[in-house]
């Protein structure tokens, strides 16, 4: 990368960023996406490479700690608490190309970017996360852009602050929270928003005027029975209406009407008035990735071996996080555990060995149930609980809330520097070495 230059990001850390791009570039390791997964693996592998042998292609200016969006929606944290400039979180010896990959050509070991440049690689890690499809619900984008519409969403940095604004403006009526009929990241997050709204209304003497409704496309409140049982008790105790298999299809912002379909009876819809509507949008993997049929499965996810996270078709390609086909719950917690496995397996493959490290599907979801309570769900591929602490985590605990609010953000930024690979060792220690 002859035209790279060093840019000072702050007084302590430096990164190199391509200032002018030639037509063709080469690298040993290409990482597509500098979010949770891309940054973490870059940090874990950076020391194995010389300067500029790793290229990270990432269009965004900031890396966001998205799990904090739930608390921003509740007014506990701000957007600036949840982000750091990309140049600060990438390792100093990688080259950051601030651009998006538009075409993947895995047979030729290269990609092309939005600016029309070609990047050749020996190995590639795909870490593009999920695309938010707000435009798939008629009326939604207009409603999100209108300041006082009461329509908000915790899933994007663009709209998350509107959630707290909508809670403050709320006077009387339905406060509806939705979960879409598509794969999604952090499937627990939509109902966390409902619990926080309930707590906010109680604290501000609005609860008697509010009907809190959680409409989910899923047939269950949560995938793991132990935590689902606990959550049904929470919704009953808080008087929150839960409608399963109920999917948002359109909004009429001028009239404050949302239309839902009954997924058990295709074609059957019903309209509901709202005072506040918190939408989790439909999602899919990014279009530019999905269109590379050689890399993805029928659902558009990078087809990987769920144990090793290696592509099923290309030995020099791995995927991490939300864009991978591994059937785990799509969370940062999963990314942490996957990063250790992927770093070991990519290192093995680069040295001509077999990938032998195995990911067990670990994911976790801190189910915030109010301003000082949290159920910390942890589980594996089989939806079997894998709790770190030696007590029953299906209870609403203040300690778990404090961990979510004050400790996990620090752990995330450490993870991006390669210092956190999930709680496996801690769990062993907490349980005195017993499984």
Q: Does position 370 bind ligand FAD by CB under 6 A?
A: no
Instruction: Classify each residue of 138-157 as buried b or exposed e, where b means 16 or more C-beta atoms within 10 Å of its C-beta.
Output: ebbbebbeeeebbbbbbbbe
Q: Which of 41, 152, 189, 210 binds ligand FAD (CB under 6 A)?
A: 189
Q: Does position 210 bind ligand FAD by CB under 6 A?
A: no
Token pair 């520097």 is at which residue? 417
Residues 309-328 that bind ligand FAD (CB under 6 A): 321-323
Q: Minimum CB separation from ligand FAD for residue 399, in Å? A: 16
Q: Minimum CB separation from ligand FAD for residue 244, in Å? A: 21
Candidates 153, 15, 29; CA nearest to 85 is: 15
Q: Does position 29 bind ligand FAD by CB under 6 A?
A: no
Angle, alpha carbons 58-59-61 (nearest 5°)? 100
Beta bridge partners of 54: 29
Site string for ligand FAD, 249-288 (x = CB under 6 A): -------------------------------------x-x
Q: Between 161 and 252, whose beta carbon lies closer to ligand FAD?
A: 161
Site string for ligand FAD, 79-118 (x = CB under 6 A): ---------------------xx-----------------
CB 246 within 8 A of CB 215: yes
Q: Does position 35 bind ligand FAD by CB under 6 A?
A: yes
CB 303 within 8 A of CB 313: yes
Q: Between 175 and 333, whose beta carbon lies closer to ligand FAD?
A: 333
Q: Between 261 and 379, whose beta carbon lies closer to ligand FAD?
A: 379
Task: Give me the sign of the Cα torsion angle 237, 366, 174, 200.
Answer: positive
H or E stretch covering 30:
strand 24-32
Q: Does position 300 bind ligand FAD by CB under 6 A?
A: no
Residue at shortest CB range from ligand FAD: 35
Task: Give me the sign of the Cα torsion angle 86, 88, 89, 91.
Answer: positive
Cα 404 from Cα 398, distance rounded (Å)? 10
CB 295 within 8 A of CB 101: no
Q: Does position 335 bind ligand FAD by CB under 6 A?
A: yes
Number of helices (H), then strands (E), in the chain: 12, 23
Residues 119-148 that bind ligand FAD (CB under 6 A): 127-129
Judged by the rule CB under 6 A, the positions of this chain that interact with ligand FAD are 32-38, 57-60, 66-67, 69-70, 100-101, 127-129, 154-155, 185-186, 189, 286, 288, 321-323, 330-333, 335, 365-366
């Amino acid at each position: 990368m002859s035209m790279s230059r060093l840019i000072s990001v702050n007084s302590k850390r430096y990164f190199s960023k391509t200032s002018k791009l030639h037509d063709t570039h080469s690298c040993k390791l290409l990482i597509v996406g500098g979010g949770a997964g891309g940054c973490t693996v870059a940090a874990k592998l950076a020391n194995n490479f010389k300067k500029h042998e790793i290229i990270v292609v990432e269009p965004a200016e900031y890396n966001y700690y998205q799990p904090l969006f739930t608390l921003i929606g509740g007014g506990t944290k701000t957007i600036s608490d949840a982000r750091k400039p990309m140049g600060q979180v990438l390792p100093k010896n990688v080259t950051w190309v601030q651009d998006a990959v538009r075409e993947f050509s895995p047979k030729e070991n290269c990609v092309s970017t939005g600016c029309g440049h070609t990047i050749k690689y020996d190995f590639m890690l795909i870490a593009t996360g999920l695309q938010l499809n707000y435009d798939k619900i008629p009326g939604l984008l207009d409603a999100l852009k209108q300041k006082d519409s009461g329509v908000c969403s915790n899933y994007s940095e663009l709209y998350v602050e509107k959630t707290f604004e909508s809670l403050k403006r709320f006077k009387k009526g339905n406060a509806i929270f939705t979960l879409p009929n598509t794969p999604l990241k952090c499937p627990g997050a939509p109902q966390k928003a409902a619990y926080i709204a309930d707590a906010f209304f109680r604290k501000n003497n609005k609860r008697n005027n509010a009907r809190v409704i959680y409409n989910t496309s899923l047939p269950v409140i949560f995938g793991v029975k132990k935590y689902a049982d606990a959550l049904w008790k929470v919704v009953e105790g808080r008087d929150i209406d839960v409608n399963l298999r109920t999917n948002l299809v359109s909004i009429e912002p001028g009239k404050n009407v949302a239309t839902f379909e009954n997924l058990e009876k295709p074609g059957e819809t019903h309209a509901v008035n709202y005072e506040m509507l918190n939408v989790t949008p439909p999602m899919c993997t990014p279009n530019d990735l999905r269109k590379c049929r050689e890399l993805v499965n029928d659902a558009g996810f990078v087809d990987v071996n769920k144990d090793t996270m290696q592509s099923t078709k290309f030995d020099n390609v791995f995927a991490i996080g939300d864009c991978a086909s591994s059937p785990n719950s799509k969370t940062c917690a999963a990314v942490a555990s996957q990063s250790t496995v992927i770093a070991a397996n990519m290192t093995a493959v680069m040295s001509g060995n077999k990938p032998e490290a195995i990911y067990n599907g670990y994911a976790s979801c801190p189910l915030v149930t109010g301003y000082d309570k949290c159920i910390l769900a942890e589980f594996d591929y089989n939806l079997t609980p894998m709790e770190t602490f030696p007590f029953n985590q299906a209870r609403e605990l203040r300690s778990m809330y404090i961990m979510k609010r004050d400790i996990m953000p620090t752990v995330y930024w450490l993870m991006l520097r390669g210092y956190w690979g999930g709680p496996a060792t801690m769990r062993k220690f907490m349980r005195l070495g017993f499984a």
